[in-house]
Amino acid sequence: MTGRAAGPADPGGLAVRVIPCLDVDGGRVVKGVNFAGLRDAGDPVELARRYDAEGADELVFLDITASSAGRDTTYDVVRRTAEEVFIPLTVGGGVRSVDDVDRLLRAGADKVGVNTAAIERPELLTEIGDRFGAQVLVLSVDARRTAGSATTGSGFEITTHGGRVGTGLDAVAWARRAASDGVGEILLNSMDADGTRTGFDLELIAQVRAAVTVPVVASGGAGRPADFPAAVAAGADAVLAASVFHFGQLRVAEVKDAIAGAGYAVRR
């Protein structure tokens, strides 16, 4: 069984989730373009409270400099954020071990995202899945299109350390392997589209959707209400956005209206 969202021909399927993302650096929510030119977007606890009240289905909290700086996720900020929301919270950034996952769950996370450490040591995925179950484990995939001599079969490669380091690894093949290793969900972020507000990378979503049966969360590029149902049509089970929510260009209800208007089920 896949986690595929309901479409016009399948109105009884699973509801599409709408997920604001809190990219956190130094205890503050920040946002830029392609993970560069970051500007302050507010306090994570206040934003989490607002999105919970607006009807968001889940929240994602990403400590975007934890891996590149070689430090742990900011547990205190996670704890305070979790205390303010009553919807599922996924936390990622700087997760390197089963013990890190345990600490985050104790701090209030419902799911934990892993990226850089899993690429360096893929067996970490199995270790986490065996200990906590697939429902806890989210693979965060920061993918970009290949250029020059760095080619892959899918045309997309994995990046690490918050999108700063290219690996040459095929992003679609990595998602397929991780799903077979027990990952419960894939958070698929297009580094090319991130922060641009030009729309999700539909080709990337479609390729990963065809390769895995676990739910796929589309991230990177949302700018207009119409971008969200397009991502669902390409294969996303959930849609994630950051700056358009943080800076008031869109509200959660607008996004749900657009998705529902295209014939997909949403939670109200």
Active site residue 23: yes
Q: Which of 52, 63, 100, 142 is catalytic?
A: 142
- DSSP characters over the chain: ---PBP-TT-TTSBPBEEEEEEEEETTEEEEEETTEEEEEEE-HHHHHHHHHHHT-S-EEEEETTHHHHT----HHHHHHHHTT--S-EEEESS--SHHHHHHHHHHT-SEEEE-HHHHH-THHHHHHHHHH-GGGEEEEEEEEE--TT---SSSEEEEETTTTEEEEEEHHHHHHHHHHTT--EEEEEETTTTTT-S---HHHHHHHHHH-SS-EEEES---STTHHHHHHHHT-SEEEESHHHHTTS--HHHHHHHHHHTT--B--
Active site residue 40: no
Q: Which of 23, 100, 181, 237 is catalytic?
A: 23
Contact 21, 60 (CB under 8 A): yes
- Residues contacting 220, CB < 8 A, separation 6+: 189, 190, 191, 192, 193, 194, 195, 200, 201
- Residues contacting 17, CB < 8 A, separation 6+: 57, 58, 217, 237, 238, 239, 267
Could you list the active site residues? 23, 142
